[in-house]
A = this chain, B = another copy of it.
Amino acid sequence: MKYCSQCRAEVSYEIPEGDSRHRHICQHCDIIFYSNPRIVAGTLPVFDGQILLCKRAISPRKGYWTLPAGFMENGESTEQAALRETWEEAEAKPELGQLFSMITVPHIDQVHLFFLATLPTPSFSAGPESLEVALFHPEDIPWDEIAFPTVSETLQRFIDQRTGPHVFDIRPEQALRAGDD
């Protein structure tokens, strides 16, 4: 950030009085511009013991499999965001269950939320951001082709039948080991 988005003045980068972190500040408008983590919300949709995964049609991690999930928008709830993303990526309308995982990924300033979800019928298809959508028996999950470590961690804990919610974080070492972009 170089310029104030309200008045075009150059912003400074300093620690405001009473704060402990550097922020971008417009002295002219007397505004502090904060930057905060973003929420990625999604589901773990299950039909008859099989898990729905989406093959990504877009970067990052194009061609890899993921659970349907995406950035939460202003004005919606976490549950609405999870269901919307499930519709957009997999054209599926599951019944939402409990929060299963809440995983911070601090090095990219994201918090990933996955809700359990049940598909009443095996009705789904690839949305614009997916190449393919398919159901996988737990023993058939393509572990080497999972897009993100938060997804593989969530899947593993679900298959291990561990009750949630699982609240933890994933650090860069793990992300790199898991082949993160």
Known contacts: A3-B4, A5-B2. The answer to whether A77 contacts B104 by CB under 8 A is yes
Question: Could you say which of B5, B18, B79 contacts A167, with CB atoms under 8 Å apart?
Answer: B79
Question: Smallest distance from the beta carbon of A166 to chain B beta carbons, Å?
Answer: 10
Of A48-56, A67-75, A138-146, A153-161, the one touching chain B? A67-75
Question: Smallest distance from the beta carbon of A160 to chain B beta carbons, Å?
Answer: 19
A90 at the interface (CB under 8 A from B): no
Bound state CA distance, A37 and B3, in angstroms? Answer: 23
Bound state CA distance, A99 and B165, in angstroms? Answer: 8
Chain B residue contacts of A35, Cβ below 8 A: 74
Question: Could you say which of B1, B107, B165 contacts A6, with CB atoms under 8 Å apart?
Answer: B1
User: Do most interface residues of chain A lie in helix, strand or loop, or is the interface mixed?
Assistant: loop
Residue among A37, A38, A71 with the highest chain B CB neighbour number at 10 A: A37
- Residue pairs across A and B with Cβ atoms less than 8 A apart, 29 shown, are A3-B3, A3-B4, A3-B7, A3-B8, A5-B11, A5-B33, A21-B73, A35-B74, A36-B38, A36-B39, A37-B72, A37-B73, A37-B74, A39-B39, A72-B111, A74-B109, A75-B106, A75-B107, A75-B109, A77-B169, A78-B104, A78-B167, A78-B169, A79-B104, A79-B169, A98-B165, A98-B167, A99-B99, A99-B102
Chain A interfacial positions (CB closer than 8 Å to B): 1-8, 11, 18, 21, 33-39, 71-79, 98-99, 102, 104, 106-107, 109, 111, 113, 128, 165, 167, 169
